[in-house]
Structure 1
């Protein structure tokens, strides 16, 4: 009879469960290790940039990813490598040695001014509309009466010189918060974006203060291809430029404090 004990006669069910768990656990380690090698691999030697050969055991197979908003699919094994030539010089030949900029660090995108090579397309909402857009395209957005509307206020840099005037606000429509101030530059009349975290709207002085860069540096802020849209890559480049100013805007900021 199959249920009278003969079917499992001489078989230790505890031993079977132990082996089943061990095989599953080893397979799980293998799977996680292989999938974990999709980011940050293949490894690069820091001083020379030499890339190691692909792994033999944990080499991940190609995988297809569905892009959102009908942008198709992408197939890859490893993540895309950053092949840009950076304007940096090593201070020593060993791995981990510091770099020093060899050009204009704020424009070259190095150090705190660095940025990731994101897709050069706008970030979209779930319904396919632009996530970040200026107020002028969405008049239903307003500034709270409890806050000072920065539109029309002058923008000053760390040298307290006037760089331009705020002409519009760019709102994140997925979270209903203001991401950027649009600034019309003095003299040229060009428009650039100012990330809100780098600005201070002073109610007492009736102006927008920026401590990251000087007024003259606003002319070098990366522009957007479209006057009403900003792409993911442009967002990183703009934020990186202001971030670079926190260290490179003046020579004194690069000196040690002690």
Structure 2
């Protein structure tokens, strides 16, 4: 027999190949099972009593230690605190918003039930803050400083005025414009929904009066992950629900 042969039909290379196949199959099984630590078991549209988890089944809970010292288990039995939806006359019908469509959490206005805490930098300080408390940050001289400019909806009606900018201290960019409403209160406008002009800010996803309905933040100088989701969802919902015409066919 040649070097490495165990019998006339089996050698070491063959056994190594078989061992690799077994290891790789086990790795796929493990990764696929670990992938189900979040989002599973799925909810059935037929009955809440039905558990949908597929194969392999959902793994046993594992405790994870977070950077702030807290712990969280996954998977867990926590259900998302989402707004109620009208599912239509039959199973599989398009979801319809209940109440204010801009806050209903449907379609482009959907949001994830993230943690209701502010994001922090690697150093542990609040990540997204207004310029008034962010020392060392400012608007570049060659750019338009939007502070003091009116904010117009797609209808051209002024809904608010910019009073400050909120900067992401980790990414070194502006995330939000802080708006002062005509009556009282302040709300945030995500930069990716704002078109900055020399003399005004344009928001094409909302009408002017709808800017007053943007979900506010609990704290004047920080925004939580959950609040970011709901703020972004409000402007996103406006792309479809701001006017009845936006829900009609293009042709």
What TM-score results when the alignment is normalised by the length of structure 1? Answer: 0.86
Report the secondary structure of 1:22's partner residue.
Answer: helix
Distance 1:26 1:52 in 2: 26
1:89-108 matches, cutoff 5 A: 89-93=87-91, 95=92, 97-108=93-104
Which of 127, 136, 144 is the aligned partner of 2:132? 136
Distance 1:19 1:92, change over 3 A: same
Report the secondary structure of 2:29's partner residue.
Answer: helix
Distance 1:91 1:29, change over 3 A: same
Distance 1:56 1:165 in 2: 54
Distance 1:20 1:219, change over 3 A: same
Report the secondary structure of 1:175's partner residue.
Answer: coil
The match for 2:192 is 197
The match for 1:216 is 209
What TM-score results when the alignment is normalised by the length of structure 2? Answer: 0.89
Q: In the alignment, is the contact (CA less than 8 A) between 2:179 and 2:187 conserved in 1?
A: yes
**Aligned pairs, how many?**
247
Shift of 1:58: 3.8
The match for 1:46 is 45
Q: In the alignment, is the contact (CA less than 8 A) between 1:33 and 1:58 conserved in 2?
A: no
The match for 2:162 is 166
The match for 1:225 is 218
Shift of 1:79: 7.9
Q: In the alignment, is the contact (CA less than 8 A) between 1:30 and 1:58 conserved in 2?
A: no
Shift of 1:37: 2.1
Distance 1:179 1:23, change over 3 A: same
Unmatched tracts of structure 2, length 5 or more: none
Shift of 1:208: 0.9
Distance 1:15 1:201, change over 3 A: closer
Distance 1:77 1:38 in 2: 5
